[in-house]
Amino acid sequence: IRALEQAVRIDSGRPDRLRALAQAYERAGRDPATVDHLYQRALSLQPALAWLRADYADFLQGHGRRDEAIKDYRAAVAEQPSLATGWFNLGAVLLESGQSRQAADALRRAVDLDPSMGEALSRLIGVSASGGVVTGVRQLPPPLESLIVRDRGPRAIQMNTQGAGLRIFN
């Protein structure tokens, strides 16, 4: 983090440096307002960087700011229509917000751009948590009706909870 802070002090006009610092701060658990400010600064310098906007949307979604994330994912894929992960993440947040038809359209676009993303959609799992404790796990149906789902054995997916974190191994 210190090296990134130094790089930003040397040249604060580089969006890539601001983004890297924002991501480092986020991983270190720094104040979300500070992380948000860094992303905003980076986007003010270069508003048409689709990958930067998609990263910011990831941050927004991770902090429960779903409507803002949807707006920024849409802007990212409008700027770069070939951004498969942007379409995929837009589909995921739309699905999370109950907009299943729009989610299916975005997810279909992601799979069209990168067919390997279809495998990620074949077994979606909904995990409910309260106060850092997993309270429920359920398998969700594939969001795309035409998606081929490969059967997997019961031990294909393992979960491990540690503190407030949840890790799923597939």
- How confident is the model over 24-67, as pLDDT tens digits? 999 999 999 999 999 999 999 988 899 999 999 999 999 999 99
DSSP class of 130: E
pLDDT at residue 164, rounded to an integer: 58
Q: Where are the alpha helices (DSSP H) in the chain?
A: 2-10, 15-27, 32-45, 50-62, 66-79, 84-96, 100-113, 117-121
CA distance 159 to 40: 35
- How confident is the model over 73-130, as pLDDT tens digits? 999 999 999 999 999 999 999 988 888 889 889 998 998 898 888 766 766 677 777 7
Q: What is the mean pLDDT of residues 157-166?
A: 60
pLDDT mean across residues, the chain: 84
Residue 7 corresponds to which tokens in the numbers above? 């790089």
